[in-house]
Amino acid sequence: MSLFGNNLSDAEKCFIIHGIQDDFRTDGRSCDNYRTIELAVNVLTNTHGSSKVRLGNTELLVGVKVELGKPEKATPDEGRIEFHVDCSPNATPAAQRKAANKDFVNNIESMLVRTYANKIAIDLTSLCIIKGKMCWIVHVDVLILECGGNILDCTSLGVKSALQDTGIPRVVVKSGDEGEEEVELPDDPFDVQHISVNNVPILVTVSFVGTRHIIDATVEEESCCSASVVMGVTRRGRILGVRKQCGGSLNPETLVEMLEFGKKSGRQLHVALDKMLKSYEKGTTGYL
Amino acid sequence: MAGLELISDQGYRIDGRKPTELRQIRCRLGVFTQADGSSYVEQGNTKVLASIYGPHEPSSNMRSKISHDKCIINCEYSQASFSSAERKHRPRGDRKSLDMAAHIKQTFESCIHTTLYPRSQIDIFLQILQSDGSNYCACVNAATLAIVDAGIAMKDYVCACSASLAKGTTLVDINHVEESAGCAELSAAVMPKLNKIVYSELNGRLHEDEIGKVLDSVVLGCNDMFAVMERTVREHVEETVSNFTHS
Amino acid sequence: MATDSRRLAVPQSSLDPKSLCPAKVERLLNDEEQRLDGRYSSESRGIYLQCGTVSQAKGSCYCELGNTKVVCSVYGPKDVEHYEDFQMEGKIKCEFKYAPFSCSKHRGHIPDLSEAEISDVILQALTASVRLQCYPKSLIEVFIIVLENDGSAVSASITAASLALADAGIEQYDIVTSASVRVYGNGNFLEDPTSVEEYRPQDFDSESGGDLNHGLVTVALLPTLNQVCAVLSNGHLECDVLVETIQMCTSLAQNLYTAARKCLLSSVKSVDQNNA
């Protein structure tokens, strides 16, 4: 994404490409290594669930708020999940125009919408309160604080952690006056139900640089890559959405290899993330 | 809010503070690697991230405002959608954000040595992660620390604080509940060593006899704020210098 | 608000009457392996391509794929719109839009998020093919409008866009052709799906036990070079099913190459005849 691309000289790009060919990237990683991931959940008090993720130099905050609303006419027994991505001015160097910023943000939003728009990722029927009249609308707000490459992977990690942390108030449906149903919120703020995140996808971006494919590209590596494929992978290895980015072309065999590689990496990421979330001791740590 | 007393009979506020007590302040400099200067300030539950880019060549949409003898200051204020209790759909560009950005720009135009950076632009970006009252004050404090981190010359630190009046007692550093209780709120940005007020804003009505009292407590609050900020800067510099000498 | 005398006094929000009808859950394949429109699963609809349909544009192409109708027009190369630093390579700007009346549900006039995403995907496909180093400091604009959407609009658009670029005389490495395949249950691949057959999450409740594969895959290909330049998929698929589907789309796109070449040849011949 040219929004953050440093203007690298041809010699620097050559250096990066040759290094990757020898399985040795500029920061010493091999082609299938992720940078260190730092994760914290429950960092914001005004939300129902939140998380902060740092992947190398990429940092973002995800806040989940649930609101009561009306379900769509076409799906009266389902709730809704909506994604909003915002790029903080802290992340963009001063010279960027607003239009380019909007494309960058739409790119992330549309990929999230694509991989969550199916019956597998989130069970939307669990968000329904009164069929046809009331449901939970889950607003997922992503705030990008710093972009150091691989923003899609980082976003999906943040979204999964925040959704796992989300506590939806347990409402009770009672029949009120005139036979209409009324909804009562609980008095106890800790009386919550959680959304099941077993099948939530993690986005994996596999970039093709020179002659090899890598995962978790930094900004410099992204500016050298000719083509990259983003895929949403569930824990079981199902692929919930694929999109190719960057204007280059791929051999069909290479594409297949990249998809298999992405699926393997995605599953490993799920395992690591779940282990981390399980052992995480909750407490409002704040941003520091 | 029926039954909500801003100050109890024993003299304690809603969150248990004394009237002249500031909230817990935590600050850190140098949070981002990409920005020229950055800082993070927490005042109670209000959390602000500030980053400074500059001085640099004016961007294309600012080229018309280039000045031969001083720099242009560009300020942008945005509030995250999840920052307040009610979800805010438009993070920036709405009336209140533009207003706030204009006030902060005004504040820093009088404090930064703009004549030292002719024909350049300094960007101040503020991001509210959590909002619990005194947003302007937290922003100004964060921006000051970020400017110090960026190494841009200023006449003095700029510390801001807010105060309100309830039942004849001034409450310093008000939070969201106290803000929405309907009392007058006075915010001011002060240069503590030079003892000058750079910016002040009053929301609500205040009798002229009481305005002096409230302003004095604001200035006292700013001086307390200054003590914290200066300590933070010294610690940061000590840490940075020790990293140089030990490596 | 002051009343606008030029506008009719109508309700602010309106409802599509179709949403009040109970949703019909249809099976896409009946017992004789026939689809809803009578085709078999490995049968594509006939494609019609014609270049030079929009006289004002530098190059244009009209594509019909069954009932799906797409018009693409190309303007350029022209100056870049904002003054930017000197660039050795040209820029392509692509805008994809469903006409408000094209889909079963009314679409607004302003491109929404999904249209912006598809514009981006088509841009990737065309960037892989156009020789941008021949057009420094220039901008090539590609506008695609779907007049009627009966499935596979994205693949029809990509093919039409590439032919429009060729019609405009813009140098490309190869014509980009594209095809879509719908994965329906286990082992059923529906080539060139119609709009009813395209993947929608709310359909097929009975089959979403979670084990069956459902999804739509679109692939754009450079046929003579055998290079994939765009991939788009949604739904839930196992990796090997996804790979099989991509290979199927690739071979379909290869077959489209002859039709695309024929269209270009006939447009050149007709220009030749007009000049003679």
Interface predicted TM-score of the whole assembly (ipTM), two decimals: 0.88
CB atoms within 10 A of CB C30: 10
- Tell me whether C222 touches chain A (CB under 8 Å): yes
Question: C28 near C36, Cβ under 8 Å?
Answer: yes
Q: Which of C119, C121, C129, C193 is nearest to C163 (CA)?
A: C129
User: CA angle at residue C134 from A230 to C60, to 5 degrees?
Assistant: 75
Structure confidence at residue B247 (pLDDT):
59
Identify the weakest region by mean pLDDT among A237-246, B151-160, B179-188, C29-38.
C29-38
Answer with the residue of higher pLDDT: A248 or A95.
A248
Q: Which of C206, C163, C199 is nearest to C54 (CA)?
A: C163
Q: Which of A69, A15, A30, A45 is nearest to A210 (CA)?
A: A15
Residue-averaged pLDDT of chain A: 87
Residue-averaged pLDDT of chain B: 90
- Residue range A142-164: average pLDDT? 92
Please report the number of interchain residue pairs, chain A to chain C, with beta-carbon separation below 8 angstroms.
121
Provide the domain limits for residue C107. 40-267
pLDDT in tens, C44-93: 999 999 999 999 999 999 999 999 999 999 998 998 877 666 788 899 99
What domain count does chain C have? Answer: 1
Residue C272, SS3?
A: helix
Q: Which of B50, B157, B68 is nearest to B112 (CA)?
A: B157
Structure confidence at residue A284 (pLDDT):
47
The answer to the question of residue C10 being in a domain is: no
- Residue range A201-225: average pLDDT? 92
**Above 50 in pLDDT, residue A192?**
yes
Judged by CB atoms closer than 8 Å, whether chains meet at B129 and A61 is answered as yes
Structure confidence at residue B75 (pLDDT):
92
- Residue range A90-110: average pLDDT? 75
Query: Distance between CA atoms of C272 and C56, rounded to whole angstroms?
Result: 19
Quote the minimal CA–CA distance from A272 to chain B in Å: 27
Cβ burial A209-247 (10 Å sphere, 16+ → b, else e) = bbeebbbbbbbbbbbbbebbbbbbbbbeebbbbbbbbbb
Q: How far is CA B27 from CA A259, B187, B230, in A?
A: 44, 20, 11
Residue A115, SS3?
A: helix
Q: Report residue C5's pLDDT band, with 50, 70 and 90 as the boundaries.
A: low
Quote the minimal CA–CA distance from B59 to chain A in Å: 5
- Residue range B217-223: average pLDDT? 93
- Residue range A198-219: average pLDDT? 92
pLDDT in tens, C195-253: 888 887 765 545 545 677 889 999 999 999 999 999 999 988 999 999 999 999 999 99
The runs of H, that is alpha helices, within chain A are 10-21, 98-116, 151-165, 219-224, 252-279
pLDDT in tens, C106-135: 888 899 999 999 999 999 999 999 999 999
**Above 50 in pLDDT, residue A239?**
yes
Query: Distance between CA atoms of B43 and B25, rounded to whole angstroms?
Result: 5
Structure confidence at residue A4 (pLDDT):
55
Phi/psi of residue A131, nearest 5 degrees = -60, 125
Query: Distance between CA atoms of C250 and C225, rounded to whole angstroms?
Result: 12
Question: B72 near B58, Cβ under 8 Å?
Answer: yes
Amino acid at C47: I
Task: Compute CA A94 distance to the chain's CA centroid, rounded to the nearest angstrom.
Answer: 26
Structure confidence at residue B29 (pLDDT):
93
Question: C113 near C171, Cβ under 8 Å?
Answer: no
The answer to the question of residue C276 being in a domain is: no
**Above 70 in pLDDT, residue B2?**
no
Site from C165, C236, C240, C247 to mutate, A interface, most A CB atoms within 10 angstroms: C236
Site from A208, A228, A244 to mutate, C interface, most C CB atoms within 10 angstroms: A244
Query: What structural domains does chain B harbor?
Result: 25-246 (3.30.230.70)
Q: HEC states along A260-275?
A: HHHHHHHHHHHHHHHH
Query: Distance between CA atoms of B224 and C113, rounded to whole angstroms?
Result: 49
The answer to the question of residue C100 being in a domain is: yes
Contacts of B91 in chain A (CB under 8 A): 86
pLDDT in tens, A9-67: 899 999 999 999 999 999 999 998 999 999 999 888 889 999 999 998 899 999 999 99
**Above 70 in pLDDT, residue A97?**
no
The answer to the question of residue C139 being in a domain is: yes
- Residue range B202-213: average pLDDT? 90
Quote the minimal CA–CA distance from A99 to chain B in Å: 13
Structure confidence at residue B1 (pLDDT):
39
**Above 80 in pLDDT, residue C25?**
no
Query: Distance between CA atoms of B90 and B105, rounded to whole angstroms?
Result: 21
pLDDT in tens, B3-29: 467 778 888 888 889 989 999 999 999
Judged by CB atoms closer than 8 Å, whether chains meet at C228 and A252 is answered as yes
pLDDT in tens, B187-199: 999 999 999 999 9
Contacts of A249 in chain C (CB under 8 A): 128-129, 222, 225, 227-229
Query: What structural domains does chain A harbor?
Result: 10-279 (3.30.230.70)
The answer to the question of residue C272 being in a domain is: no
The answer to the question of residue C215 being in a domain is: yes
Structure confidence at residue C129 (pLDDT):
95
- Tell me whether B150 touches chain A (CB under 8 Å): no
**Above 60 in pLDDT, residue A2?**
no
Identify the weakest region by mean pLDDT among A184-198, B62-76, C41-55.
A184-198
**Above 80 in pLDDT, residue C18?**
no
Question: B65 near B72, Cβ under 8 Å?
Answer: yes
User: For position C49, which CATH number holds?
Assistant: 3.30.230.70
Judged by CB atoms closer than 8 Å, whether chains meet at A239 and C233 is answered as yes
- Residue range B149-170: average pLDDT? 92
Judged by CB atoms closer than 8 Å, whether chains meet at A90 and B47 is answered as no
Question: C178 near C137, Cβ under 8 Å?
Answer: no
Contacts of A98 in chain B (CB under 8 A): none
The answer to the question of residue C231 being in a domain is: yes
The runs of H, that is alpha helices, within A166-251 are 219-224
Structure confidence at residue C113 (pLDDT):
92
Identify the weakest region by mean pLDDT among A177-181, B183-187, C227-231.
A177-181
